[in-house]
Amino acid sequence: MSKDRVAFIGIGVMGKSMAGHLLDAGYPVTVYNRTKSKTDDLVARGAVWKDSPAAAAENADIVITIVGFPQDVEETYFGQQGVFKTLKPGALVIDMTTSSPLLAKKIAEEAASKDIGALDAPVSGGDLGAKEARLSIMVGGDPAAFERAKPLFEIMGKNIQLQGPAGSGQHTKMCNQIAIAASMVAIGESLAYAKSAGLDPKHVLASIETGAAGSWSLSNLAPRALDDNYDPGFFVKHFIKDMGIALDSAKEMGLKLPGLALAKDLYDRVAADGGADDGTHALFRFYFEGKQ
End-to-end CA distance of the chain: 57
Marked catalytic residue, from 50, 105, 106, 173: 173
Q: Do residues 111 and 255 both lie within one domain?
A: no
> Is the C-alpha dihedral spanning 103, 106, 111, 114 positive or negative?
negative
What does the pLDDT read at residue 240?
97
What does the pLDDT read at residue 126?
84
User: Last residue of a domain, which of 110, 136, 165?
Assistant: 165
Which residues share a beta bridge with 64? 8, 94
User: Last residue of a domain, which of 125, 144, 165?
Assistant: 165
Q: Do residues 209 and 192 both lie within one domain?
A: yes
What does the pLDDT read at residue 1?
66
Strand duo 135-141 + 117-120: pairing: antiparallel
What does the pLDDT read at residue 174?
97
C-alpha span between 188 and 180 (Å, rounded): 12
The answer to whether 136 touches 159, Cβ cutoff 8 Å, is: yes
User: Last residue of a domain, which of 140, 165, 190?
Assistant: 165
Q: Do residues 175 and 161 both lie within one domain?
A: no
What does the pLDDT read at residue 120?
98
What does the pLDDT read at residue 128?
87
Please give the tally of structural domains in the chain: 2
Q: Do residues 160 and 264 both lie within one domain?
A: no
The domain that contains 121 carries what CATH number?
Answer: 3.40.50.720
* Positions of the chain with pLDDT lower than 50, given as ranges: none
Q: Do residues 195 and 160 both lie within one domain?
A: no
The domain that contains 190 carries what CATH number?
Answer: 1.10.1040.10
Domain of residue 102 covers 6-165
Q: Check if 173 is active-site.
A: yes
Asked if residue 1 is part of any domain, the answer here is no
What does the pLDDT read at residue 290?
83
What does the pLDDT read at residue 13?
85
What does the pLDDT read at residue 56?
98
Report helix, strand or coil for 64: strand
What does the pLDDT read at residue 234?
87
Q: Do residues 112 and 22 both lie within one domain?
A: yes
Q: Do residues 20 and 154 both lie within one domain?
A: yes
Q: Do residues 185 and 138 both lie within one domain?
A: no
**For the purposes of burial, counting CB atoms within 10 Å of the CB of 250, is it exposed (0-12), middle (13-18) or buried (19 or more)?**
middle
The set of residues, in sequence order, having a beta carbon less than 8 Å from that of 151 and lying 6+ positions away, is none
Helices and strands counted in the chain (H then E) = 14, 9
Q: Do residues 31 and 128 both lie within one domain?
A: yes
